[in-house]
Amino acid sequence: DTGVSQNPRHKITKRGQNVTFRCDPISEHNRLYWYRQTLGQGPEFLTYFQNEAQLEKSRLLSDRFSAERPKGSFSTLEIQRTEQGDSAMYLCASSLAFLPGTEAFFGQGTRLTVV
C-alpha cells in the first residue's frame, strides 16, 4: 500500500472557475477526512466520511464546497466559483474507525492557487 494519494498535487485556476480534487485513501480505511491549510496556519477540519456517509461538515465548508465518497473508497472535493480566499493546501487523511484516537494518515495535499 502506498498510502493516501491526492491528485492533482498542484492546481492553478482563474477566479470563478470550478475545481475538483481527488483523494484515494489507504484501501482498508473506512474513515476519510478533508482539511484545509493556509500559509502559516495549522490544518483546519472541513468534513469527514465514514464509508460513503458524510458525518460532519465544518462551518468553513460553504455552499460552494461539496465533497463526495460515492462507494466508500475514493473521495472528491469540488469548489465551485472559486475565490482568491480559497487558495490553500487541501489535505486528505484516512483512518480505521475502531477506537478513538486512531492515527490518521495524511496525503501530500493539493495546493490550490486562485488567480
Residues binding another protein (CB under 8 A): 4, 31, 33, 35, 40-45, 48, 55-56, 91, 93, 97, 100-101, 103-109
For the bound state, the minimum distance from the C-beta of residue 101 to another protein, rounded and expressed in Å, comes to: 4
What gap in Å lies between CA 49 and CA 31, rounded to an integer?
6
Q: Which is nearer to another protein, 19 or 107 (CB)?
A: 107
3-state secondary structure of 86: helix
Q: Which is nearer to another protein, 28 or 98 (CB)?
A: 98
Q: Maximum distance among all alpha carbons in the chain? A: 42
For the bound state, the minimum distance from the C-beta of residue 13 to another protein, rounded and expressed in Å, comes to: 19
Q: Which is nearer to another protein, 17 or 97 (CB)?
A: 97
User: If you ran DSSP here, which 8-state letter would residue 84 be given?
Assistant: G
101 φψ region: left (φ > 0), alpha (ψ -120 to 50), beta (else): left
